[in-house]
Amino acid sequence: MPSTNAPTPETARTIAAGAGLELPEDRLQIFAAALSRSVEQTSVLLSMDYGRTEPAGRFAAPPASR
Amino acid sequence: MSGMDAASLSLADASRLIAKRELSPVELTEACLARIEAVDGTTNAFITVAGDEALAAAKAAQESIARHESIGPLHGIPIGAKDLFDTAGLRTTSGSKILADNVPDSDSGAVERLRTAGAVIIGKLNLHEFAFGATGVNPHYGSARNPWDTERITGGSSSGSGAAVAAGECPGALGTDTGGSIRIPASLCGITGLKPTFGRVSRRGVLPLSWALDHVGPMARTAEDCALMLQALAGADPLDASCSTEAVPDYAAALQGGVKGLRIGVPTEFFFHELDPEVEAAVRKAVETLRDLGAEIREVSLPLIAEAPAAVGAIMLPEALAFHQRWLAERPDDYGEDVRFRLENGATFTAVQYVQAQRFREMIVARWRDEVFDKVDLLATPTTMRAAPTIDEGDLRITFALIRNTNPLNLLGMPAISLPCGFVSFSAHPEEPRDSSEEGNARRLEGPIGLQLAGRWWDEETVLRTAHTYQQATDWHERRPELAAAQASA
């Protein structure tokens, strides 16, 4: 079910189109609800202090061996 | 020895018999093909059985060995490959409708290395569509079924790999693991599965799910078997820049030495929360067994663990969508409903969320390196929160219970193994009505529980040694489902 905070269908359509997806009406509602959940679930990532930490490189090599 | 007995052997035991000329690669391959013929209609582990090719390869191996040209412990051993690995001339579907007719020109790096080590590729194993799911429920090829109770899932995404090894259809299999896809089916099917360090094994020729999280690794009956497979698989691949040049040790030699003095950490948060009580009891008992074997058990706190799942999602879903975007735009109805839903969810993340998740990944790796692995050598946790659900419990409802304890370790990139450490009684679960029919009573109402051991980056040796030491002291890994046992005695 769409969340009460879900974006409008037009907003959801625009965001989906930005990722190359053209969603039919029924899937658009599901997508809009997922958008809200995604914002909520990743808010923790947006509120952290990363300092000067750089993003993992393309292959994100783990630390050197023991 | 009889053909059907040969299919019950562990990879290492079969290898020792071949080395002593007490078992031939052709006998072993024929035994596995006979087992496939007998049980795969029930397990649905294979999408494609390459019987003729496997027998030809086994014959070639046999002739080499007869000429005293043995090339190592995998020589003449049948291995199944998850149908996500390219195999030259052999259909590779990725468990999808979209690639149903895909026949690669060349082998994936992992298959190439197994063949070079003398292994016999016996066929291509079922999986969750495009490896994008943890149950193994597949709308295109049917679900692989758990040999311990065929009304239950195997776990995924390497579902066929788990079922085939557990049912004795092949002694070893290749799996991939982006959020737990080796360890989850290993846990639910009662076998041993290793996700090596990120970059340890080539991913060339493996259809990607998430470039930042995908790992390739072995699935077999024991830690020793996994060590033998990893020896062949590990090491630099000049054609895969994501594959590390880190030195590859002797994994079989590393199995010896025991766990005396090893510091094993038991997490104080996250991994033990809201578990099935039987799962928790079995895993805590396994930890006590390791203590009895000489390990030092310490409680350990894991920084940033609560935030890790959000970062996994913000990386995995957009990367998966990026790979599938064109197919999803052009052929959306050719995807199964659950995979299509997950892929569309990939568009709900912004570029900023994705980049912050990658920065988070750097932070958590550094914190665990400095604050966890300065105190302990290894972590011990349950692999999954519960044992195998029934196939009709649905996908989305149960996925969380399967992936919660595995997917943070994909973000961290450290080696992690799942090995059997007990059994749960399915009938004890209040949410599952007891099937008291004659048929229900006839079914074996118990299933395996997995212990997950995770170690320092590149230190597969300690992970494998600890698992091997535990398996030398226990017999959970030697138990066979009735399905396989019945066929073995047939």
* pLDDT tens readout for residues B199-242: 999 999 999 999 999 999 999 999 999 999 999 999 999 999 88
Give the whole-angstrom CA distance, residue B329 versus residue B377. Answer: 47
pLDDT in tens, B252-269: 999 999 999 999 999 999
pLDDT in tens, B287-345: 999 999 999 999 999 999 999 999 999 999 999 999 999 999 999 999 999 999 999 99
Residue B70 has pLDDT above 90, yes or no: no
Question: Which residue of B307, B349, B412 is in closest CB contact with A44?
Answer: B307
Token couple for A5: 């905070």
Confidence of residue B485 (pLDDT cuts 50, 70, 90): low
Higher pLDDT, A40 or B250: B250
Give the whole-angstrom CA distance, residue B23 versus residue B430. Answer: 47
Considering just the CA atoms, what is the radius of gyration of chain B in Å? 21
- Residues from chain B that touch A37, judged by Cβ atoms under 8 A, are 348
Is B241 an 8 Å CB contact of chain A?
yes
pLDDT in tens, A15-52: 999 999 999 998 999 999 999 999 898 999 999 999 99
ipTM over 0.90: no
Nearest-Cα distance to chain B for A4, in Å, is 17
pLDDT for res A3:
46
**pLDDT above 70 as % of chain B:** 94
Is B38 an 8 Å CB contact of chain A?
no
Count Cβ–Cβ pairs < 8 Å, chain A vs chain B.
Answer: 119
The A residues from 5 to 64 touching B (CB cutoff 8 Å) are 15-16, 18-23, 27, 30-31, 34-35, 37-39, 41-42, 44-46, 48, 50, 53-56, 58-63
Residue B82 known to be catalytic: yes
Q: In the predicted model, what is the mean pLDDT of residues B36-65?
A: 97
Q: Are B363 and B145 in contact (CB under 8 A)?
A: no
Residue with token string 């290492």: B12
Give the whole-angstrom CA distance, residue A53 versus residue A49. Answer: 9
Higher pLDDT, B70 or B108: B108
- Residues from chain B that touch A54, judged by Cβ atoms under 8 A, are 359, 362
pLDDT in tens, B452-472: 999 999 999 999 999 999 999
Q: In the predicted model, what is the mean pLDDT of residues B412-430?
A: 85
The catalytic position among B15, B96, B108, B157 is B157
